Amino acid sequence: MKAMPSRETSDDADIRRVEMLFDSLPSSIVVALISVFLCFLVLFDTVDLAILKAWTAFMLSVLAVRVWIWHMFGNLDRQAENVRRWEWLFAAGALLTGIGWGALFGPLYAPPAHPDAQMFVALMVVITAFTGTVFLALSHITFWLFITPTLLPAIAHYTSSLGRDAQWPVIAAACCIAVFIIVQRRLYQSTTANLKRSTEAESLLAEQQAIFDSSPMGIAVIDHKQVVKCNARLGEMLGRRIQDLTSSHLYNHFVSTAEADQFLADSKDAFDRGQPAQGMYRLRRADGTQFWAELSGRKMQEGITRSVWMISDVTLRVANERRAHKRD
């Protein structure tokens, strides 16, 4: 049965989701600045200049506040409880931005004498809604607080201005909203699923590393006659630092070349049969003294030359067996 993810793992995934949401903010701010600049240029001669300036000032102020929120979040000691509050703060900034874009179909909407400007506004709102869907997909709250004030003024405008003829524009708007919702849901589900898997994998790796480091037995990963990874216990047994053991040649730790060759031959024979290898061999410490060690290992995967070994000092056991044999 598949293990249920722990609450801690779920919280970690939620923290990373909000972090990714904030990580996307600089890109969305750049896109918003470009869009505001284009709107100012296109609408400069079509709407009241005072209103256009006020709208531009509002948008730039909101974007500045959102950048400040992003900066403060970057210095935050993140925990599940306060991260959710910051997500709401992020959503509030998106709401104000959406209200600003919705104003394009309000006081900033071009008069009938400028159909090209009207078309620009319609396209700008749709494009802005779609980019918002992508950038804000990781938060349901933020998505709805942005998309609603962005699109509702457009729907209300076409409904009131076209009357009975608004049927097809309203249907088109509804289809657009449905597409945005589907895109947002799909991005949210796929991203959060990946986050949960990666968080669970990292948690498992952390647990395995803790076991690896605290094991009372020496552990080594060997590849092509070299030690590529080991724990502190093996370093204690051999009287060497982990840094010195890593990438060291296997022959350096056996009493003789013949003993190392015997170990390699025994392990190859066992691995070729698909079985774990096990045997006792004499190893040499850094000070030149030797001891008997029991090595048991298993090949990590088919087609991979790496193997993992458990190593224990059995010098006392060998001595006791020899004394018992002499008495017999």
What separation in angstroms does the CA of 73 have from each of 24, 126, 153, 305? 13, 30, 32, 45
Query: Which one has a higher pLDDT value, 39 or 84?
Result: 39
Q: Is the pLDDT of residue 51 over 90?
A: yes
Amino acid, single-letter form, for residue 92: A
Query: Percent of the chain, pLDDT > 90?
Result: 55
Q: Which residues pair with 107 in a beta bridge?
A: none
The pLDDT mean for the chain works out to: 87
Query: Which one has a higher pLDDT value, 87 or 14?
Result: 87
The pLDDT value recorded for residue 12 is 80
The pLDDT value recorded for residue 165 is 66
Q: Is the pLDDT of residue 275 over 60?
A: yes
| 8 Å CB contact between 296 and 276 | yes
The average pLDDT across 293-319 equals 87
Whole-angstrom distance, CA of residue 218 vs CA of residue 231: 6
Q: Is the pLDDT of residue 17 over 50?
A: yes
Any idea what the Cα angle at residue 49 is, between residues 43 and 50, rounded to 5°? 135
Q: How many CB atoms lie within 10 A of CB 214?
A: 10
Query: Which one has a higher pLDDT value, 53 or 193?
Result: 53
pLDDT tens sequence across 208-265: 888 888 888 999 999 988 999 999 999 999 999 988 888 889 899 999 999 999 999 9
Confidence tier at 80 by pLDDT (50, 70, 90): low
- Nearest to 35, CA basis, from 109, 80, 92, 100: 100
Q: Is the pLDDT of residue 1 over 50?
A: no
* Residue 106 DSSP SS3: coil
CATH code for the part of the protein at 215-327: 3.30.450.20
The pLDDT value recorded for residue 280 is 93
User: Scanning the structure block, which residue is given the tokens 């669970």?
Assistant: 200
Q: Is the pLDDT of residue 119 over 60?
A: yes
The pLDDT value recorded for residue 164 is 67
- List all residues 6 or more positions away from 181 whose beta carbon is below 8 Å from its beta carbon: none
Q: Is the pLDDT of residue 170 over 90?
A: no
Q: Is the pLDDT of residue 5 over 60?
A: no
| 8 Å CB contact between 129 and 180 | yes
Query: Percent of the chain, pLDDT > 70?
Result: 93
| 8 Å CB contact between 309 and 222 | yes
